[in-house]
Amino acid sequence: MKVLLRIDVNSPVDSEGRLLDDSRIRAHAPTVRELLDRGNAVVMISHQGRPGDRDFISLDQHASLMSKYVGQEVRFIDDVAGPCAREAIRSLRPGEALMLDNVRLYAEEVTEGPPEAQANTHLVRRLAPLFNAYVNDAFATAHRSQPSLVGFPLVLPSAAGRVMERELTALSRLFNPEDSPKVFVLGGGKVNDTLRIIANLAQRRIAERILTGGLVAEVFAVAKGIDIGRRNLEVLERLGLMSLVPRARRLVMSGVPVEVPIDYVTEEDGNVKEEPSSRVSGVIKDIGPATREFYSSLIREAKVVVLRGPMGVIEDPRFREGSVSVLRSAVEGSGFVIIGGGHMASMAGLAGELPGNKVHVSTGGGAMLVFLSGEPLPAVEALAKGVRAK
């Protein structure tokens, strides 16, 4: 059987186009290996960057690394759906693997639309007849409605891959009433996105506690009437975040259980110091020791902990302790832990060994954001209403 496998190996690259991180490639390798071990011929399709961007490169490096992690050759062909690609697919034998080039070389792939329209694109009509089944393992791109994600399930027997399965299984625990209390630790600088998440959590009454850090915490502190100091107000104003304070205030007034730091680590004239939230003169860089202890006590008691966005400016080693502290508390606690977003995932290793049976590191920042915001994931919906693979 020939299987078209949609993966997401979109990775950061350096100025010379070399891959800097292969974690997504490693994550998909078990799905590829399982399909090959079952005697299938596997053809992988993915994107890398966007047309015109520096990271819009070929997938030849990705194929080479996939070969390493799968344990056999993954042949690469610099074509997507043209004559060379189709001939390579036709000649593929059971147990062999092939990776097509960057699917965004096709202009259709950067355009979103309803599944019915995407199933009728040139890409899908060219490739679908060459396959017996389609597997979507690309959770990180599940919030997109592009041909390679939502078109194929309507014309081929389809199923979710192991990465997709693990992601959805982990996130489904958020809706299990027996897994309570649930604590969300939300930080970073994407305040608008985080407000969407908090509004959904409040509407669905999912979270018992929401612990904030980073710029998210500063916006909510202002919304609660706390004076965070002139310098920090100027930062929020410069970033255009003061306009979000009314939304945050409405959430606070509606009774959403949002906690803000009781102290901070700040920097003033090059000096690092700890200051209570009631008297802040420096620029806020991290949550303080009292907040770390307060947050950690709540996290350790939770049945499910979701961490998205850092507590401080983790690019500077002096301001990482808040993020490491909440991560460590989550890992050492008894609850199930979901780590989402690149920044918190990058810090996870500093919190110690991550037991796979209780810690899930999500591969999809954007998809996880959409999921937590209560919005549908088009690729998942397409699998649900498409032709089921046996």
In whole angstroms, give the CA distance from residue 372 to residue 11: 23
Q: Does residue 266 contact residue 282 with C-beta atoms inside 8 Å?
A: yes
What is the per-residue pLDDT across 78-92, written as a single tens digit (0 to 9) for each? 999 999 999 999 999
In the predicted model, is pLDDT for residue 372 greater than 90? no
Question: Residue 120 domain-assigned?
Answer: yes
Phi-psi sector, 341: left (phi>0), alpha (psi -120 to 50), beta: left
DSSP for 250-301 reads HHHHTT--EE--SEEEEEETTEEEEEETTS--SEEEEE-HHHHHHHHHHHHT
The pLDDT, as a whole number, for residue 389 is 56
Structural domain count, the chain: 2
pLDDT tens digits along 166-178: 999 999 888 888 8
Question: Same domain, yes or no, for 145 and 190?
Answer: no
In this structure, the answer to whether residues 288 and 247 fall within a common structural domain is: yes
Same domain, 320 and 349: yes
Mean per-residue pLDDT over the chain, rounded = 93
Who contacts 234 (Cβ-Cβ below 8 Å, separation ≥6)? none
* d(C-alpha 174, C-alpha 204), whole Å: 11
Minimum mean pLDDT range among 16-25, 218-227, 349-358, 374-383: 349-358
Q: What pLDDT score was predicted for residue 287?
A: 98
Q: Is residue 362 part of a domain?
A: no
Alpha-carbon gap, residue 299 to 326, rounded angstroms: 8
| Model confidence at 357: pLDDT above 80 | no
Which residue(s) pair with 258 in the sheet? 210
Reported confidence tier of residue 342, pLDDT bands at 50, 70, 90: low
What b/e readout covers 304-315, taking b as 16+ CB neighbours within 10 angstroms?
A: bbbbbbbbbbbe
**Bridging pattern class, strands 304-308 and 359-361:** unpaired
Mean pLDDT of 363-386: 88
Is 359 contained in some domain?
A: no
Residue 21, token pair as written in the block: 């991180």
Of residues 44 and 179, the one with the higher pLDDT is: 44
Residues 92 and 210 both lie in one domain: no
Let me know: does 351 contact 328? Beta carbons within 8 Å.
Answer: yes
Q: Do 7 and 131 belong to one domain?
A: yes
Alpha-carbon torsion (170, 175, 180, 186), positive or negative: positive
pLDDT of 39: 97
Same domain, 19 and 120: yes
Q: Is pLDDT above 70 for 350?
A: no
Query: Is residue 65 domain-shared with residue 199, that is, in the same domain?
Result: no
Task: Tell me the pLDDT band of 368, cut-offs 50, 70 and 90.
Answer: confident
Average pLDDT over residues 323-338: 93
Domain check: are 190 and 140 in the same one?
A: no
Q: Which range has the worst mean pLDDT, 12-26, 49-63, 104-118, 193-207?
A: 12-26
The whole-number average pLDDT for the span 315-330 is 93
- Per-residue confidence at 373, pLDDT binned at 50, 70, 90? confident
Residues with Cβ < 8 Å from 238, sequence gap 6 or more? none
The phi, psi pair for 138, rounded to 5°, reads -100, 70
Would 365 be classed as within a structural domain? no
104 versus 354: the higher-pLDDT residue is 104
* Of 335, 276, 333, 279, residue with least CA distance to 303: 335
Both 156 and 173 in one domain: the answer is no
**Full domain range(s) for residue 32:** 2-160+380-385
Give the pLDDT mean for 183-202: 93
Q: Would you say residue 72 lies in a domain? A: yes
pLDDT at 341 over 70: no
pLDDT tens digits, 256-298: 999 999 999 999 988 999 999 999 999 999 999 999 999 999 9
CATH number for the domain that contains residue 244: 3.40.50.1260
Instruction: Report pLDDT digits (tens) over 248-267.
Output: 999 999 999 999 999 999 99
C-alpha–C-alpha distance, residues 38 and 25, integer Å: 20
Q: What would the mean pLDDT of 133-160 be, rounded to a whole number?
A: 96
Tokens for 213, please give them.
């850090």
Q: How far, in Å, CA of 154 to CA of 158, rounded? A: 8
Question: How high is the pLDDT of residue 20?
Answer: 86
Residue 174 CA to residue 181 CA, distance in Å, equals: 10
Give the C-alpha separation, 373 to 201, whole Å: 8
Say whether 295 sits in a helix, a strand or coil.
Answer: helix
pLDDT at 58 over 60: yes
Please tell me the pTM assigned to this model: 0.85
One domain for residues 179 and 325: yes
Is 366 inside any structural domain? no
Looking at the fold, whether 180 and 102 belong to one and the same domain comes out as: no
Other C-beta atoms closer than 10 Å to the C-beta of 71 total 10
Q: Report CA torsion sign: 364, 365, 366, 367.
A: positive
Question: Between β-strands 263-268 and 283-287, what pairing exists: parallel, antiparallel or unpaired?
Answer: antiparallel
At a CB cut-off of 8 Å and minimum separation 6, what does 115 contact?
A: 145, 150, 151, 153, 154, 378, 381, 382, 385, 386
Reply yes or no on whether the pLDDT at 348 is more than 80. no
Closest CA to 51 of 107, 118, 99: 107
372: β partners? none
Residues 147 and 43 in one domain: yes
